Amino acid sequence: MKMLFLDIVWPLYLADGSLIHRHELVNNLAKLDNEIHIFTTESSNLSHPDNIRCHYIRSGSLLSLTINYFRSSGGLVGSETFDVLYTRNPNFGFLAGLFCKSRCKNLVYELNGIPEDENNLIRNRCNEEKALREGKMVNLSRFFSSAKAKLKILVLKKALGFSDKVIAVTPGIKANLESSYNIPGEKITVVSNGANTSLFKPLEQDACRKELGLELETPYICFVGNLAPWQGVEYLVKAAPSILSRFPECRFLIVGEGVMKNELLKFSRELGVADRFVFTGVVPYDRVPVYINASDICAAPFILARNAKIGLSPLKLYEYMACGKPVVASAISGVVDVLEASGGGIPVPPENPEALAEAISKLLENQELKMKLGSKGLSHVTENYSWYSVAKQVDGVCKSGLKG
């Protein structure tokens, strides 16, 4: 199968979930003897170079990068035909449907969330105080935000309509596409996210701690991911005083960057626990397993907004478990299903710092339970959620939709 990824596959310098997904999917589809064409700004650490064709774009400002990308992609699609055009970007899906349908046998769109829900959460967090200060400008700001949101929804609907096949990463997204976007259910296939089980695997804890300069005898609770509103990291901060009252030596590793970072820092200072939190900032993808393995317990305290509506298939959950770590996570569709099927962690009510603190404390005081949950989660993810198994499912969807 000859396949063109319409999203830019940036060099993998940081552990951004969307970028990780693209890298892992490209690498593993190439393992299945497909010819994969990608656009990138520079050489990267993609494997299987014999099966991956890199088309380089000159980097620069956002405007020049966009112009260079569309020039390169337009030239490539104009000169070659492909079995599959694949994208996770509604704008690219829309444009491909308008201009490229004749150059491919199958247009596949993958959806990892409902964009307007994510945008609304970020915008509400970032603009709340600003809107209050600006007073009379609020209505005008809301007008433009509403118009922009409607345009995004229209573009997404068109992209989904143009697609021959749609891949949704959760059953909740599929249900939402059927009810809100009128996409036929037979056109949508659910394929969960996964973990790189060659990279994310158990490592010796003391060696990881020494490498990171962490105390060998201190219990560490770890969160990895984008510090975005829907991740619920503020509830881990709220849970900290209760945990520290029972385990005062405990520390918290917050691995990642995002719009919530300053708010989380401020909140930790207000609660008097700032000295117990380590905010690492951006960490390269291949270094993330070191932080997870240096920890005792991993947390995924997702909030209800956005997550309850569509369910979750979070990379962090699979990566935590692939490293053999017990997980405490919000009992939201997708997450609780994996925890119950695997026995790899403890689900807790979302947005409930008391329950979060109690579950983490239970694991901190019970070494045998901690080891048991970690071992079960490791087995389950290795068998069911490797990126190779995900790629095989995507490969099947793409090939099933080929025309003639």
Q: What angle do CA 146, 166, 46 make, to 5 degrees?
A: 100
Calculate the CA 399 to chain-centre distance: 25
Same fold yes or no, 2-117+153-194+387-400 and 205-384:
yes
Whether the pLDDT of residue 227 is over 70: the answer is yes
Comparing 8-22, 111-125, 177-191, the range with the smallest average pLDDT is: 111-125
Over residues 326-341, the mean pLDDT reads 93
Burial letters for 374-403: b for 16+ Cβ neighbours within 10 Å, e otherwise? bebbbebbbeebbbbbbbeebbebbeebee
DSSP string, 9-57: -----S--HHHHHHHHHHHHHHHTT-EEEEEESS----S-TTTEEEEE-
Q: Give me the residue label for tokens 């020039």.
A: 71
| CB-CB contact of 53 with 38 (8 Å) | yes
Q: What is the pLDDT of residue 65?
A: 83
CA-closest candidate to residue 95, choices 107, 83, 106, 84: 107
Q: What are phi and psi of 191, to 5 degrees?
A: -130, 115
pLDDT in tens, 351-404: 999 999 999 999 999 999 999 999 999 999 999 999 999 999 999 999 986 754
What pLDDT, on the 0 to 100 scale, is given for residue 295?
98
pLDDT for 397 equals 94
So what's the pLDDT on residue 42?
75
The residue count for the chain: 404
- Please give the structure tokens belonging to residue 270: 């207000």
Question: What are 2-52's pLDDT values in tens digits?
Answer: 999 988 887 666 556 788 888 899 999 999 999 999 988 876 667 667 899
Q: Where are the beta strands (DSSP E) in 266-384?
A: 277-281, 297-300, 327-330, 345-348
First to last CA, the chain: 13
CATH architecture for residues 2-117+153-194+387-400: 3-Layer(aba) Sandwich (3.40)
Which residues partner with 223 through β-bridges? 254
Count H helices and E strands in the chain, helices first.
Answer: 16, 13
| 3-state secondary structure labels for all residues of 374-392 | HHHHHHHHHHHCEHHHHHH
**331 within 8 A of 313, measured Cβ to Cβ:** no
Amino acid at 187: K
The whole-chain average pLDDT of the chain stands at 86
DSSP state of 195: B
Beta bridge partner(s), residue 277: 252
pTM of the model: 0.84
- Indicate whether 133 pLDDT > 50: no
Which whole number is the average pLDDT over 162-185?
91
Question: What is d(CA 145, CA 367) in angstroms, rounded to the nearest whole number?
Answer: 50
Q: Which amino acid is at 162?
A: F
Residue 302 tokens read as 């997702």
The answer, yes or no, to whether residue 137 has pLDDT greater than 50, is: no
Backbone angles phi, psi at 220, to 5 degrees: -125, 135
Residues 6+ apart with CB under 8 A from 97: 107, 158, 159, 161, 162, 163
Domain boundaries, the chain: 2-117+153-194+387-400, 205-384
**CATH pick for 205-384 out of 3.40.50.2000, 3.50.50.60, 3.20.20.140, 3.30.420.40:** 3.40.50.2000
- The phi and psi torsions of 390 (rounded to 5 degrees) equal -65, -45
State the Cα–Cα distance between residues 55 and 59, nearest whole angstrom: 13
Confidence of residue 141 (pLDDT cuts 50, 70, 90): low
CA angle 30, 71, 37 (to 5 degrees): 5
The reported pLDDT for the residue numbered 172 is 87
**Residue labelled with tokens 């317990």:** 297
pLDDT at 123: 52
